Amino acid sequence: MARYEELAKDIRNQIANSTWRSGEKIPSVRASCKSYGYSIATVLQAYQLLESEGWLIAKPQSGYFVAPQIEHLKLAQLASSPVEKTESKTVEINDILFDVLQRNIDPSLLPLSSAFPEPSLFPLQTLARSLSSASRQMSEDSAIVNLPPGSESLRRQIAQRYIKRGVVVNPEHIVITAGALEALNLSLQVLTQPGDIVVIESPAFYGALQAIERLNLRAVEVKTDPVHGVDLNDLADIVKRMDVKACWFMTNFQNPLGFCMSDGNKRKMMKLLAKHQVSLIEDDVYSELYFGDDHPKPAQAFDDSGNVFLCGSFSKCLSPGYRVGWVVSERHSDKIQRTQLMSTLSSSVPTQLGLTHYLQYGGYDNHLRKLRKSLHERKVKMRQAIEQYFPEGTLVTDPSGGYFLWIEMTNGACGQAIYEAALTRGIAIAPGILFGAQEKFSHHIRINCSYDCEDDVLASVQTLGELAAQ
């Protein structure tokens, strides 16, 4: 192939993969000569070839532009050229999980698989105004002084919010992170060595399972039920029998079961863990979303040992995209900062400052009141629809907070089969197998009930019910 043909081929590929879109100007002949190291004649020849083929349009005195409508035929021809396969795909939980997470982005699907509340429930415009104000006020050194542990004002506001719930937290023990997910992962990294045993709920948040696998730890599942949460007898048995390093639990509105452990049980649990010197990594991202009168406390509030890593976030209440969370650790905030300095360096500074501004002036508590009310109402509607459309005998949780329903098909229907069939009908759900180390939740699915169960959402629940009946 001649040089000009090679260059033409490169540019065709760039147009096919959207590096340059219809109407965009591609680099000038002179610029391409410099960057590719070709002569003017070669580059010109390539550009003229592409023009003659209809890929480019030359505009006098301006340069070459991608033609306004590349025929689909041309793009299709390119796409059909053999693509090298990198490796064979073994179907496994990780693949399914990745598939589920990726499909949350697909705008053609109703994302009942989503880990976040329905986006219209977030105060996007107010947040944007706070971000604008905060970023305009950023000083030169703001990028530096907000490195780990993160913005001092934000940490103080988080501490104040805890104290108003009766949970004494020192701002100096808080480290701001890129969402609770980073907080949880950093805590686990700081606490464990490969081979260590970590107790998780059953079913558990898939992020815990993934993190444990990635760090080469051993997961032990504790009995868990949708009403009381972690079974304390079973937990006592496990920590007695095994050398457990940590528990990774969600005590308030657990994902996926939705339970909220009582204060009494939280206190008993912390006593048990302290006695056996087991640390608790507490994922407390849903506790703001209570439907009752009282904000439930984290188990950390009942701890005297200092061995709790209390992780929180704004992702479920304000915006998942801001990626601001935190971890409170009385003993290990130093180690967490070290690990963060060497992995992501810090959470994004403008968004930290934007959230600080929002917490001060944005009316967060008003927003939360409205959000809780909407989530509560929507849960009730969604449960009614499930009871109406799913096969008789189907079990559905009835959580007092959060936005997940956990459904067990007692007729033997397979969660993964429903997942796959639902995709072809434009609906995404989370199959139960994602939530256990063994595949024991194969007759379960998790549904996000923050979507308003009317019209197309209602029709989707009906579709799911039909699929579950098959």
Structure tokens at 390: 């799913």
Structure tokens at 122: 């977030």
Residue 128, interface with a second copy (CB under 8 A)? yes
Which CB, 138 or 380, lies closer to a second copy? 138
Q: Rounded distance, CA 364 to CA 317, Å?
A: 9
Which CB, 210 or 442, lies closer to a second copy? 210
Please answer whether residues 282 and 299 qualify as being in contact, where contact means their C-beta atoms are separated by less than 8 angstroms.
yes
Stretch that binds a second copy, among 121-129, 228-236, 269-277, 433-441 (CB under 8 A): 121-129
Write down the least CB distance from residue 134 to a second copy, Å: 9
Write down the least CB distance from residue 440 to a second copy, Å: 21
Write down the least CB distance from residue 284 to a second copy, Å: 16
Provide the b/e sequence for 390-423 (b: ≥16 CB within 10 Å).
beeebebbebbbbbbbbbbbeeebbbbebbebbb
Q: Which residues, numbered 138-197, are part of the site for a second copy (CB under 8 A)?
A: 138, 140-147, 152, 156, 159-160, 163-172, 178-179, 181-182, 185, 189, 194
DSSP-assigned letters across all residues of 327-394: EEETTTHHHHHHHHHTTT-SS-HHHHHHHHHHHHHS-HHHHHHHHHHHHHHHHHHHHHHHHHHSPTT-
Write down the least CB distance from residue 23 to a second copy, Å: 13
Q: Rounded distance, CA 178 to CA 346, Å?
A: 7
Instruction: Give the SS3 label for residue 245.
Output: strand
Write down the least CB distance from residue 12 to a second copy, Å: 12
Q: Which residues, numbered 290-329, are part of the site for a second copy (CB under 8 A)?
A: 319-324
Q: Rounded distance, CA 382 to CA 385, Å?
A: 5
Half-sphere exposure of 348 (CA within 13 A, CB side): 12
Stretch that binds a second copy, among 237-245, 331-339, 358-366, 431-439 (CB under 8 A): 331-339
| Given 218, 267, 271, 331, the residue binding a second copy (CB under 8 A) | 331
Which CB, 92 or 392, lies closer to a second copy? 92
Residue 58, interface with a second copy (CB under 8 A)? no
Residue 88 carries which side chain, given as an amino acid letter? Answer: S
Write down the least CB distance from residue 373 to a second copy, Å: 19
Q: Which residues, numbered 422-461, are part of the site for a second copy (CB under 8 A)?
A: none
Which CB, 336 or 386, lies closer to a second copy? 336
Q: Which residues, numbered 1-20, are part of the site for a second copy (CB under 8 A)?
A: 10, 13-14, 17-20
Q: Which residues, numbered 219-278, are part of the site for a second copy (CB under 8 A)?
A: none
Residue 70, interface with a second copy (CB under 8 A)? no
Please answer whether residues 311 and 179 qualify as being in contact, where contact means their C-beta atoms are separated by less than 8 angstroms.
no
Which CB, 72 or 136, lies closer to a second copy? 136
| Given 91, 105, 243, 424, the residue binding a second copy (CB under 8 A) | 105
Stretch that binds a second copy, among 47-55, 58-66, 205-213, 272-280 (CB under 8 A): 205-213
Q: Are strands 197-202 and 444-448 parallel, antiparallel or unpaired?
A: unpaired
Q: Rounded distance, CA 446 to CA 448, Å?
A: 7
